[in-house]
């Protein structure tokens, strides 16, 4: 079995404290080579700037995504490459656009850009509302540079404008003003791995209500083996590492407080359920992903295949099974879109694929 809607992979290059930086790079490059051979459409790479944690923790290893993606684009011939997400809080709008346009020149037609602001840290002097407002200001400047090569009446940047990249932007937005901004400026929307499906569906419905006609894209952590027992056994260590880092925290703590999740997760299966880590045989993961697609309304799926504690060979077997046994049965809408300067046509429509 093969075919089905195009899907991508999403790699955070997470690695446990104590592993060298080179190891996850080499593993990720081999995973991506395998994904391209298996006909995955794209790969997004996470950007991270947080320092290593204590023993047993893990952290992302790519602080400069365009550098990694430029190398990757040269090494691979077909797969699209994207930032997942590019953190604008650490950069100026002008510098961000220079990096985006440079990557586009190196890999024309193969670049995608998830743009966000990164997490708000507990000791940040900036409120969530202030940070969201700054995000919209940066996005406005980025659109000016892409369309006109300059911000307001400022100096021109050294590269020519790249208006065709506007339609290749997916905004990581959660607050209503930024969702409205993305909708009104014709930008796509991306929701990540962290939030429960119900919450992500609320963001996408608000984006649509504000007139958003772009693509809604999302990611889910998935691991597949021939049988459920094999999948659970091979993911057992990864489950405990992941839950120790993120269990009962953030969005999931909020869901527990609101009664949408049980207050405890005593078994591995319950821990995976809390963190939306989809594990099982192909039939199991098809059902979980289709339920997620239905609840959220996403139109494009990126599979997170790599997690500390998963053996590289098992990850690649999982990718093969996802492509051959899962992808053909995903009920993702297929966007029928006319592109002009990479901007979606107002007449763009979607239809849902049949399993």
* pLDDT, tens digit, 9 for 90 and up, residues 301-334: 999 999 999 999 999 999 999 999 999 999 998 7
Which residue has better confidence, 349 or 193? Answer: 193
pLDDT reported for residue 342: 38
H-run or E-run covering 58: strand 58-60
pLDDT reported for residue 1: 57
pLDDT reported for residue 175: 96
pLDDT reported for residue 347: 37
Q: Is the peptide bond before 210 cis (omega within 30 degrees of 0)?
A: no
Dihedral (CA of 247, 252, 254, 259) sign? negative
Average pLDDT, stretch 158-183? 97
Whether pLDDT at 254 is above 50: yes
Which residue has better confidence, 202 or 249? Answer: 202
Helices (DSSP H) in 13-168: which residue ranges? 22-37, 65-75, 93-106, 128-148
Average pLDDT, stretch 229-251? 92
Banded model confidence at residue 242, pLDDT cuts 50, 70, 90: very high
Banded model confidence at residue 335, pLDDT cuts 50, 70, 90: low
Rg value, the chain, Cα: 20
Cβ–Cβ < 8 Å for 224, 231: yes
Cβ–Cβ < 8 Å for 82, 69: yes
Whether pLDDT at 258 is above 90: no
Whether pLDDT at 271 is above 50: yes
Banded model confidence at residue 174, pLDDT cuts 50, 70, 90: very high
H-run or E-run covering 130: helix 128-148
Banded model confidence at residue 343, pLDDT cuts 50, 70, 90: very low
pLDDT reported for residue 101: 98
Coil vs helix vs strand at 197: helix
Whether pLDDT at 345 is above 50: no
In angstroms, the Cα distances linking 241 to 99, 199, 268 are 34, 24, 11
pLDDT reported for residue 350: 54
Q: Which residues have C-beta within 8 Å of that of residue 203, sequence separation ≥ 6?
A: 173, 174, 179, 189, 191
pLDDT reported for residue 255: 76
Strand 349-352 relative to strand 333-336, pairing: antiparallel
List b or e across 137-148, with b for residues whose CB sees 16 or more CB atoms inside 10 angstroms.
ebbebbbbbbee
Segments making up each domain of the chain, as ranges: 8-352
Output the pTM of the full model: 0.92
Overall fold of domain 8-352: TIM Barrel (3.20.20)
Report the chain's mean pLDDT, rounded to a whole number. 91
Banded model confidence at residue 82, pLDDT cuts 50, 70, 90: very high
H-run or E-run covering 193: none
Rounded Cα distance, 234 and 35, in Å:
20
Cβ–Cβ < 8 Å for 24, 61: yes
Dihedral (CA of 66, 70, 72, 78) sign? positive
Coil vs helix vs strand at 303: strand
Whether pLDDT at 96 is above 80: yes
Return the percentage of the chain with pLDDT > 70, whole number: 94
Q: Pick from 247, 331, 231, 233: which is nearest to 289 by CA?
A: 331
């Amino acid at each position: 079995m093969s075919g089905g809607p195009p899907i991508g992979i999403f790699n955070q290059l997470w690695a446990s404290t104590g592993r060298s930086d080179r190891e996850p790079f080499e593993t990720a490059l081999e995973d991506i080579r395998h994904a391209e051979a298996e006909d995955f459409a794209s790969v997004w790479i996470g950007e991270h700037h947080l320092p290593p944690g204590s023993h047993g923790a893990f952290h992302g290893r790519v602080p400069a995504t365009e550098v990694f993606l430029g190398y990757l684009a040269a090494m691979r011939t077909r797969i699209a490459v994207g930032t997942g997400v590019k953190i604008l809080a650490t950069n100026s709008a002008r510098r961000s656009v220079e990096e985006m346009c440079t990557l586009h020149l190196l890999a024309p037609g193969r670049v995608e850009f998830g743009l966000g602001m990164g997490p708000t840290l507990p000791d940040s002097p900036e409120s969530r509302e202030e940070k969201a407002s700054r995000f919209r200001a940066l996005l406005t400047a980025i659109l000016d540079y892409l369309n006109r090569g300059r911000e307001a009446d400022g100096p021109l940047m050294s590269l020519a404008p790249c208006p065709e990249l506007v339609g290749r932007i997916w905004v990581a937005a959660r607050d209503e003003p930024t969702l409205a901004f993305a909708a009104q400026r014709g930008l796509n929307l991306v929701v990540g791995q962290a939030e429960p499906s119900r919450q992500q569906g609320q963001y996408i419905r608000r984006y649509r209500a504000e007139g958003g006609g772009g693509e809604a894209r999302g990611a889910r952590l998935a691991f597949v083996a021939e049988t459920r027992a094999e999948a659970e056994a091979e993911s057992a260590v990864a489950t405990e590492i992941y839950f120790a880092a993120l269990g009962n925290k953030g969005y999931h703590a909020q869901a527990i407080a609101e009664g949408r999740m049980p207050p405890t997760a005593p078994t591995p299966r319950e821990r995976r359920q809390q963190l939306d880590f989809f594990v099982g045989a192909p039939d199991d993961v098809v059902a979980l992903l289709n339920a997620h697609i239905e609840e959220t309304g996403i139109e494009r799926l990126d599979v997170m295949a790599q997690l500390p504690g998963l053996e590289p060979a098992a990850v690649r077997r999982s990718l093969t099974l996802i492509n051959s046994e899962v992808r053909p049965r995903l009920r993702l809408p297929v966007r029928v879109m006319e592109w002009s300067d990479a901007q979606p046509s107002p007449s763009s429509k979607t239809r849902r694929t049949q399993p």
